[in-house]
Structure 1
């Protein structure tokens, strides 16, 4: 066998061994996480859905010890109904694997442009980002408690792909009704006309994604916003068709029970409402004070998100909306702080961009040290997750700080599909041919 073929075979075998080792380590980490957190959220949902399938109400179930009830929309309850037929651990494993897949695909979407800008392959970087994210408290809590946060996160990040494709596709490509259906479906995928469907599904399956639905209008993405609104309404009406009593109960009563899972002043609530409730010593925050600060913080987040979107940084725009939603929502547990991870990625990318290659005491050499130090400190705190970070409202203050100070990155001019991206060998101004030119 030639030397080149032997080297290629050896490299393929090494990649296979590394892939198998990475899969085993990932499964071990997921197993430890499930044992540590005990599927606390999924246990309530699992029992409530079984209670519902047995003929009783979905939202009338209360856990005997904590008196916590299910706080999920009927559409999501219908989607998770097959898991109620399985044992709790089997359902937890399936949900954890689905959440890990969503996290991996989200890492490909978020880290892909960074790898492409530095002429690197996006798959290794996405795997590294996923491995680092798997060690953080938001991901551990989402997997271990059995919540749908990673799935909702993946649906929203999917719309970033659609918006990128819509930006790169020529606006005058027109329609082609004469083409076969498979070509029209492929063309719809390429031109990003489906952007907004992921946010619409997430808004039908959760409450926090509603901020992203409104954020699409603020960002000026009206087509994607209308798609998201149509998708969310369609899925909600389907839930009304299959579960009319639960849908009416959800929108009429359960949605407004802010302390359904736990009290708003619990240390685990890192939203602005929890901070104010603990500050005033009440079970719930003063409504007017909470709304005043929440509206101000949300306005700052949406304004900065629109500025980031105008600059071409859709990832930072979505991240700012997610951080603002986590800050102003009534209940934000560590499992719902998933948007801190894209914020760390943005800080890391900004630090790399600002690093000057020149030597010497140039002040620009130190321009990227502050984002790099912030990213490193933030990541270490998310991995360690010390108990004082909850009692001192560390996550809440981090959300407020990032909403007001997270920088965005100017994007390069988009390369449209069908337009050659090759540069001229001699980049000089070209003169139009006049009538006297031959």
Structure 2
């Protein structure tokens, strides 16, 4: 008994020390990224929103050096308005810390099925995945430039968790007996007998809120609209309608509070594709940027870009639907994110966040294939290829972008992974034991009595 009591405080002190070290390292990484990238995107947004609060037009501001303008919907501008009241560095730190929290929660959600499958603890695996993700260029650029991509990523992954819960615990109508006890699956949320607090708690547990995260993200940015369309493609009808309703509601709220900016955004600003940077710039790793650089023009050939882009999105959606049918919703969402980033038209390294969970899918697929004993040479080659692809992909995201952007490294990674990322079939449920039947001593015709 004394040995157990001695070990418990030691383990608690070890965990506290690891958490403290992890927090200090996280703060150091945020500080390094802020100094390296200089909050270039947040500086433009911060100045534009501050002028807007002072009475000027939101989209009339231009940076005096880069001539870049704010490219955010009015709903996101309203959300970020409190940051304009803070100094730029303080706003960058607050946005960076919020993004790190969203990354931790997303890592916990994405690694939970893997930890459960291998019988490991979820917290250490989620912390390791989040730590490795923070070293990659998409996360570094997001934190350093002061962008909300990690928050949008967290909202989309939250809907993934809700879909997982809704598939596990579908909502069923209540028993007609009013005295019947509460059973799982849950009652309908419109049942007048259930108190409102219980409705909220049960709604959170059964995932009936699926679609709210994607709807909010679609109102705050353009790329998450592909996930909203993906819900319809994956036939998650209830989540798709919830996402559409949420997006429309938030957009109408923006129209109510900022009517002139909302009309300007949907009327002209949204279609200014080169508002923040030229399409042929090296930082644009979308298909449009690759075609523009190959053609040697400021913009890509429109028909060629739309034809190849629509084909790439169709491939991503079809493969996402197949992954969803196989029971791998994570890979389905990753494929939609990769296809959306590849389609563009403007995809900077900070918007390549879906490459990070794609590497997690590759690594898990390699480990999952090696779990059972396989003797064929082809199977060993596939296992090795998946493992090497995951390692090389992570090295690609660790390297400096200046060495990869001129060679379109990220763009080719998006196109290749959209077309080849494997999905993992869900494990089959255990077979139900059949009752043992003894052969009849005297066979008789079926349906007759002996």
Q: Which residue of 1 aligns with 2:103?
A: 103
Change (3 A) 1:242 1:428: closer
- In structure 1, how many angstroms separate the alpha carbons of the residues matched to 2:21 and 2:257? 44
Whether 1:301 aligns to 2:316 is yes
* Aligned ranges 1:211-360 → 2 under 5 Å: 211-356=226-371, 358=373
1:409 to 424, 427, 430: 424
Cα distance in 1 for partners of 2:238, 2:339 equals: 23
Distance between the aligned counterparts of 2:401 and 2:143, measured in 1?
19
8 Å contact kept, 1:355–1:367: no
Give how far 1:430 is off: 2.1
Whether the 8 Å CA contact 1:356–1:364 is kept in 2: the answer is no
C-alpha root-mean-square deviation of aligned residues, in Å? Answer: 1.8
Task: Give the 5 Å matches for 1:179-194.
Answer: 179-194=194-209
Instruction: Write out per-residue CA displacement over residues 198-235 of structure 1, whole angstroms, 9 at most, x where no aligned residue.
Output: 00000000010011111110011111010000000000
What is the aligned counterpart of 2:213 among 198, 208, 211? 198
Change (3 A) 1:149 1:386: closer
TM-score, scaled relative to structure 1:
0.94
Q: How much does 1:413 deviate?
A: 4.7
Q: Distance in 2 between matches of 1:7 and 1:149?
A: 42
Q: Which residue of 2 aligns with 1:168?
A: 168
Which of 420, 424, 435 is equivalent to 1:430?
435
Task: Give per-residue Cα distances to partners, 1:316-375, cap 9 Å, x unaligned.
Answer: 000000000000011000000000001000000000011155497765344311111000
CA drift at 1:170? 3.7
Identify the residue that residue 443 of structure 2 maps to in structure 1.
none
Are positions 1:143 and 2:143 aligned together? yes
Distance in 2 separating the partners of 1:140 and 1:308: 29
1:68 aligns with 2:73: no
Q: Name which of structure 1's ranges 359-368 and 270-279 shifts more when overlaid on structure 2.
A: 359-368
Contact preservation (8 Å) 2:287, 2:411? yes
Deviations 1:22-49 (A, max 9, x none): 1101110110011000000000000000
Shift of 1:412: 2.3
Structure 2 match to 1:55: 55
| Alignment coverage as a number of residue pairs | 424
User: Unmatched 5+ residue regions in structure 1?
Assistant: 415-422, 433-438
Match of 2:397 among 352, 364, 382: 382
What is aligned with 1:22?
A: 22
Q: TM-score when scaled to structure 2?
A: 0.91
